[in-house]
Structure 1
Amino acid sequence: MLPRWISWFGALLISFVLTIALSVSPAHAFEDARKVSVVSFGLFGDQTVFRNEAFGAAQVIAGRFGSGPINVQYNSKKGGDATIEGLARSLQAAAKGMDTGNDVLFLILTSHGSPNGLAIKAGRLTQTLTPSNLAAMLARSGMRYKVVVILACYSGVFIPRLANPDTMVITAADADHPSFGCRDKAKWTYFGNAFFNVALRQARHLEDAFVVARSLVKKRELREHFEPSNPLMAGGQHVQPLLIARP
């Protein structure tokens, strides 16, 4: 049988170790978190909902995951820099300030969409951002870990070109259906509101937020007699563990 003083010392040591572990674990969790750079573009300038959503979504991501730079661009009826060329420049600029092999690029695009891609309207300028355009831009950025959220009709067309274990893609609709809520002067589209403004303010993981948002959108669409848009989430198996929102 051990002397009493050894037992007492052992208990004290265990208590001390547990106290230190509990006090530093949360801090280390945040210190070890990757830097997150946010690029958010409102692409269709004729309706302010896309500008509002680009700003609102960027603010939510920065508040939940942020520790890196934030770049929000939008178009208006008079013009703007949220174009194909502007997006390419912004992605390159975001990557310059990041550890491309470890940090995370969070890209948000909100606009009207078609089976061909995303509509860009800046004053008189009109363009279409195709899945191949965007895939090439992201590859040139050099960022390994990426999250791409596309808020538009038919946005599921981007998934085959973008989604992989290092790139998570979340879309407001599948490749065959429109999404809803792009009313001028609104703050959010239906999926943008459900995902960013409601679910992600509470959930700590993107997958959990997506599950909640998809359910909310489906209920709203059925209530308003719309054919379901079928939001999608694909890829990102290597990204998901790197993004844990602040409590």
Structure 2
Amino acid sequence: MTRQRAGLRFRICALALGLACGLLTATPSLAAPFESWAAVVVAGDSKGSLGGPTEAFDNARRDIAKAFSGLGLAPAQIVQFSVRPEAERAQRPQKSTVRGIYDSLGAMAPDAAGCLVYFTSHGDPRGVLVNDQILPPAILGAMLDRSCGTKPTVVVISACFSGVFVPALAKPNRMILTAARPDRTSFGCGEADTYPYFDACFLSALSQVGDFIALGRAVGVCVRDREREAGLTPPSEPQVWIGPQLRPLLPLLSFPSAPSR
């Protein structure tokens, strides 16, 4: 064998070995694609649609955080916010404030591979209620720009009129999932409700689908069916927006409990 051919063979072998090592290195991240993400889960109110106390938002906040843990996030990577943090010592949520949410995102996002942001609360055409403040779409958009930046980001707003957030939050690296159109209410925020309808459907769908694209479709179908069964009109029509940079990535970010295909 000539020296040139031997050198060529060595380079080919080295290249093949490098590719194999790269694949082995990438395997753990594909097995748990959310393990290095950061999440905030916010219950923005504790009153029902008639003004009395409700556990619906805190129930959703608690179980959404648990579901995010099931995606591979460690407890330290999930910060929960509640209007009544003193009522729950086990989960140790922080007090729901706009500043607190922004500070938590700012602290976690720099070291995270992506961001999960979930609000469950009342809303109106101006934005989503966080304790006694309305968080407008433009302010939440600025918070995400400054914390999560261009990292893959999934934002879920479970509130009446939450479709108002889509135009302000729409960026190539983001998915936005809202409980209603900009001009519609959502349902299930009463004093006796366990979860808002949208949150119940989100939790149910997580165990039935493989990724966030399928989740958005499944939640919309579930909400539509529940509203029809209850005779509620007009329908809330949950909204889904997925940025062009994030769309091809989402199927790779499969849920650990995804059903076999």
TM-score with structure 2 setting the length? 0.75
Q: Does 1:198 align with 2:189?
A: no
Contact 2:172 2:244 in 1 (8 A): yes
SS of the counterpart of 1:159? helix
- Of Structure 1 and Structure 2, the greater strand share is in 1
Contact 1:45 1:77 in 2 (8 A): no
Pick the aligned partner of 1:120 from 113, 124, 130: 130
Contact 1:64 1:201 in 2 (8 A): no
Pick the aligned partner of 1:60 from 55, 67, 70: 67
Q: Does 1:94 align with 2:95?
A: no
Distance in 2, Cα, partners of 1:31 & 1:202 = 18
Tell me how far 1:28 sits from its aligned partner. Answer: 6.1
Contact 1:50 1:111 in 2 (8 A): yes
Contact 2:164 2:181 in 1 (8 A): yes
Tell me how far 1:75 sits from its aligned partner. Answer: 0.4
Distance in 2, Cα, partners of 1:29 & 1:120 = 35
Query: Structure 1 residues 194, 27: CA separation in 2 closer, same or farther (over 3 Å shift)?
Result: same
Distance in 1, Cα, partners of 2:189 & 2:71 = 25
Q: Does 1:69 align with 2:69?
A: no
Query: Structure 1 residues 55, 185: CA separation in 2 closer, same or farther (over 3 Å shift)?
Result: farther
Partner residue in 2 for 1:174: 181
Query: Structure 1 residues 119, 63: CA separation in 2 closer, same or farther (over 3 Å shift)?
Result: same
Query: Structure 1 residues 77, 147: CA separation in 2 closer, same or farther (over 3 Å shift)?
Result: closer
Partner residue in 1 for 2:241: 234
Contact 1:65 1:244 in 2 (8 A): no
Distance in 2, Cα, partners of 1:89 & 1:32 = 25
Structure 2 segments unaligned to the other structure (5+ residues): 1-19, 48-53, 88-93
Partner residue in 1 for 2:214: 208
- CA deviation profile, 1:84-103 (whole Å, cap 9, x unmatched): 111111111221442xxxx1
What root-mean-square deviation, in Å, do the aligned CA atoms of Structure 1 and Structure 2 show?
2.7
* Amino acid of the structure 2 residue aligned with 1:86: G
Q: Does 1:139 align with 2:145?
A: yes
* Aligned pairs, number: 218
Contact 2:43 2:96 in 1 (8 A): yes
Partner residue in 2 for 1:150: 157
Contact 2:85 2:95 in 1 (8 A): no
Structure 1 segments unaligned to the other structure (5+ residues): 1-19
* Amino acid of the structure 1 residue aligned with 2:181: D
Tell me how far 1:120 sits from its aligned partner. Answer: 2.4
Q: Which deviates further from its counterpart, 31-40 or 154-163?
A: 31-40
SS of the counterpart of 1:181? coil
